[in-house]
Structure 1
Amino acid sequence: MAAPWRWLYRPWRIFRVFSVIYYAYMVEYRAELILWMLSGSFPLILMGLWNQAAQSGQMGLQPVEFVRYFLAVFLARQFTVVWVIWEFEKEVVQGKLSPLLLQPIDPVWRHFFSHFSERFARLPFAILLVGLFFWLYPDAIWMPTLYGWFWGLIAITLSFCLRFIMQYTFAMLAFWVERATAIQQFWYLFYIFLSGMIAPLELFPPAVREFVLWTPFPYMIYFPASLLVGLPVDLGRGLVTILFWGGVSLAINRWLWRRGLRHYSGMGA
């Protein structure tokens, strides 16, 4: 009976070993992890600004809705943060990628599991910050619906995968340029303004909002945050758009990876 499932043993073993190893590595630097979490508290600052602006009653959302939305943005950012481009660029520039290519596992999985395990190391601190938030804003306490919890968590997971594969695709350019991170920093400007991190998309002009919804940016922050707080979003369109941009990025990534390896070998690696 176990024979049909034998092909799952190796992937499960890789998943288990990598997850445990990188989790242990992440919790070893808890102080640094806390600092990284605090550096992502920008949405909580914006929350106070929009909360005050909403007191006029002309913003389209109630003050408490702004507070809940930016808390959801904070959580979405905490669990979708990605840094693979900096690590991959260093591996290519310093030649550290060469020994990894000799191993029977694609180097991408090491990066993926380091990110995956970091989510669990970050979770206790995120819970503490949410508790502090509700202590400061007791009127904003709410519990997402079962629908919001289920689809919100799925959206956060897909958003993380989308952002990871897009940034990893940018990282492939490190085979040709020494500072692929400069491209990421330029892309980050669009991410800040179009992802819903600065303001909910409900505040955008209708034509601009419709255009932005065809880009991948809102589905990295706005889409999962809205599901958690109960703001109206098109669930089907959101999931399809994430899968579409993820598929496009994956195809480009694999093409760049094959060409990049030939270029990397040609440089004497």
Structure 2
Amino acid sequence: MKRIIRKALTLLSVYYAYILEYRAEMIFWVLSGSLPIIFMGIWIQAAQNGRLNLTPVDFARYFLAVFIIRQFTAVWVIWDFQKEVVEGKLSPKLLQPLDPVWHHVATHVADRVARLQFTFLLILLFFILYPQAFWLPSLGKFLLFLLSVTLAFTLRFIIQYTFAMLAFWTERATALENLWLLFYLFLSGLIAPLEVFPESVRIVLMWTPFPYLVDFPASILVGLPVDLVRGFLSLVGWTLIFFFVNRWLWRMGLKQYSGMGA
């Protein structure tokens, strides 16, 4: 166990130092995740002029939560993995006594840590500009939120890493991720809370992984009604489904892989 922990800390420290080399770029990545703040203004205006289940303050808090979730669930593993396969850079990693996925996991975790300071500054700025939306969730809700965000990141990572396995057969595996992104944007709660969706649409969506990636953790943090048991079971269930598909594609893909003579 000590050896595993030492390896994990070493990977994290290496990739954290690598991430810090590009602080300026990271600031732009954090700001690029501010799309929910734009939608917040639209829905606040709609709440003031129409009959919606949520108040303007509810929308402000919800989209702030979405912004936070976006910072901690951003995933780009498919682009890195596709490049490794196409350029043959995966070969030396296959010779290491470590599954190549842990290099990508370490990069993503290090990025989360490096983003913290910029995320906190933007949250502080948000409350200064919109003080009526300030609130402090209870300790229980906050811990459930952290757990749900961790599981949402895990699910989003394993989904995209599963799509990345297609790079063994095609040089455009990212095309599938781009298609998936369209559904993710509209059905996850990123551009609108599921509370404003028709009941029939919500019922269907709850059988897909999309609502649990954004809307579920956001609803926990801001105190909107949510089925905790179903939400957490769905996160774990979908993660296991994609995990088994991922491992099968990985084994099949290695038989197909021939980068750099491997």
TM-score computed with the length of structure 1 as normaliser = 0.96
Count of residue correspondences: 262
Instruction: Give the 5 Å matches for 1:1-269.
Output: 8-56=1-49, 58-265=51-258, 268-269=261-262
For 1:108 and 1:188, the matched residues in 2 are separated by: 22
Distance 1:228 1:18 in 2: 31
Gaps of 5+ in 1: 1-7
RMSD of the TM alignment (CA)?
1.0
- Residue 266 of structure 1 deviates from its aligned partner by 8.7
Instruction: Find the aligned partners of 1:266 and 1:193 in 2 and give their Cα distance.
Output: 37
- The letter for the 2-side match of 1:51 is I
CA shift, 1:146, in A, is: 1.4
Cα–Cα, structure 1 residues 108 and 266, in superposed 2: closer, same or farther, change >3 Å?
A: closer
Tell me the amino acid that sits aligned with residue 58 of structure 1. R
Q: CA deviation at 1:148?
A: 1.3
- The answer on whether the counterparts of 2:40 and 2:60 sit within 8 Å (CA) in structure 1 is yes
Please list the CA deviations of residues 205-226 of structure 1 after superposition, one character each: whole Å capped at 9, or x if unmatched. 1111011011111111111111
Aligned partners of 2:6 and 2:170: how far apart in 1?
36
Using the alignment, how far apart are the partners of 1:15 and 1:97 within structure 2?
20
Q: Secondary structure at the match of 1:79?
A: helix
Does the CA contact (< 8 Å) of 2:91 and 2:259 recur in 1? no
The answer to whether the 8 A contact 2:85-2:259 is kept is no
For the Cα contact (< 8 Å) 2:86–2:259, is it kept in 1?
Answer: no
Tell me the SS of whatever aligns to 2:59. Answer: helix
Separation (CA, whole Å) in 1 of partners of 2:239 and 2:35: 26
Distance in 1 (CA, whole Å) between partners of 2:205 and 2:12 is 35
